[in-house]
Amino acid sequence: MSLGYAQKLSYKEDVGTVGMPEIFDSPRALDSKIEELAVMILRSKHLVAFTGAGISTSSGIPDFRGPKGVWTLQQAGKGIPDASLPFHRAMPSLTHMALVELERAGVLKFVISQNVDSLHLRSGIPREKLAELHGNSFMEVCSSCGKEYLRDFEIETIGLKETRRRCADNSCLAKLTDTVLDWEDALPAKEMDLAQNHCSAADMVLCLGTSLQITPACNFPFRCLKNGGRVVIVNLQSTPKDKKASLVIHGLVDKVMEAVMHILNYRIPPFVRIDFVHVSLSHSPRKKACVKWVLRIKSIHGPKATMPFLKSVEVAFPDRPDMKCALLQEQPFVLKRQTTQRKSFKILLTLNLSEGCGSSFSQIEWPVNFQATNVKKKSLSLDRDKVLNELKDLAERESCCGQEVLLERNVESRSEFTAHAIVTNIVRYAKIEEVPENDDLTTSVNGGSEWKCGTFTLKRSCEDGDNSEKSAKRCK
């Protein structure tokens, strides 16, 4: 949740109970419940996850009702809690990535989210398998054709209001609106229908990090009960729906999900964040010995969009010491120059990344030759999904950020445009270390195979906050 959003969506008396005390199951009870949950997931045929603010607190985003929640502090007359990093740089939690792996394995069929932080989409849950009941702070939608636009910056409005941008479809060009609901807004019909249908079809609904107090959404998970389904609640506070659940676990959601994934022998994948930039170079018709040219580094989301992951851009000319370097510090980043057309040169762009990125910079090289004759229009558009997957694999293998790859290139007679993908963060989620001394908790699964739960030591390693020169090295 963004703090700007929290300020607009302030505490109201009808939001239910706030300031709820946290409850922790005993270690032995927690182990037993975790093992039971793993067995239930293993046997489920149509698993649905229903998530709330509690799955994002370990990502640095405050919840609403906890001891330090937004509404709890507002009710007490205190200010909004501090976020540990900029909202747009929040990374998926271990729970987010565990759900991604369960979806990829075919176990998890659908995710219903009450959060607006976009972390389910960023983590890798397919859009068609996700219902965002309260909207998405990073999503705009066309008011005419319905096309959605996921941004890397937070949309400046809430309440389904018009934004400053228009649909990119030239046959449409209608105004875009934000997707985050205000108090008086009804749940979006499409998202609500999908959520209700999947809950009705589910044989198990797993509620994670939600107090189940906001209606009508809090009633959706229990639609599965009509067909013999079961509901599991994992939350640090009690909920009004606990008595209807087959299993209630009071513990940290990340700890519970990490243990479950360990029992089921599923790997929790790392999260690799990729951001995008457009670079263009245009020049005037050649006259005599000189040519005027303009270099632009801008957002892929259009000229009115910012790039919050970029702090500044350094422009250097490594093979032309006679050309002066430049530091661009204001967006949009623009450099205008006049140079001789007789000598080719190379532009080296150093993109200085902002706070919250796992690297301090990335670099892009661009050869320039204004003497090239008979320039024909040409374009290069690579398989986006394939290129991005290869980039993620490379970043994971080399365990560093800052790599960039070309996605698209268009050349015309007096201009050239390229699109680049840049790895800006890597988050790894460490495996559980099982303590062999406590191996008395076992259960029989699938015809006699035994799973040992034991006592778990949980760790999380994160490579997303180093900002050192070492982490920023250019990986070839």
Q: Which residues contact 265 (CB under 8 A, 6 or more apart)?
A: none
Coil, helix or strand at residue 234? strand
How many Cβ atoms sit within 10 Å of the Cβ of residue 300?
A: 17
The tokens of 449 are what?
């195979």
Q: Does 401 belong to an annotated binding site?
A: no
Q: Give percent helix, percent strand, percent coil of the chain, each to the nearest 5.
A: 25, 30, 45
User: Catalytic residue among 96, 134, 301, 420, which?
Assistant: 134
Distance CA 237, CA 271 (A): 28
Residue 300 and residue 278 in contact, taking contact as beta carbons nearer than 8 Å:
yes
Q: Which residues contact 133 (CB under 8 A, 6 or more apart)?
A: 112, 113, 114, 187, 188, 191, 192, 195, 217
The tokens of 8 are what?
């607009």
Q: Does 218 belong to an annotated binding site?
A: no
Residue 9 and residue 158 in contact, taking contact as beta carbons nearer than 8 Å:
yes
Active site residue 420: no
Residue 17 and residue 79 in contact, taking contact as beta carbons nearer than 8 Å:
no
Q: Which residues contact 74 (CB under 8 A, 6 or more apart)?
A: 10, 11, 80
Coil, helix or strand at residue 86? coil
Beta bridge partners, 408, equal 381, 419
Distance CA 172, CA 170 (A): 5
The tokens of 15 are what?
């939001």
Q: Which residues of 136-164 are buried (b: 16+ CB within 10 A; e: fewer)?
A: bbbbbbbeeeeeebebbbbbeebebeebe
Q: Does 145 belong to an annotated binding site?
A: yes
Residues flagged as binding site for Zn(2+): 142, 145, 167, 172
Active site residues: 134
Residues flagged as binding site: 142, 145, 167, 172
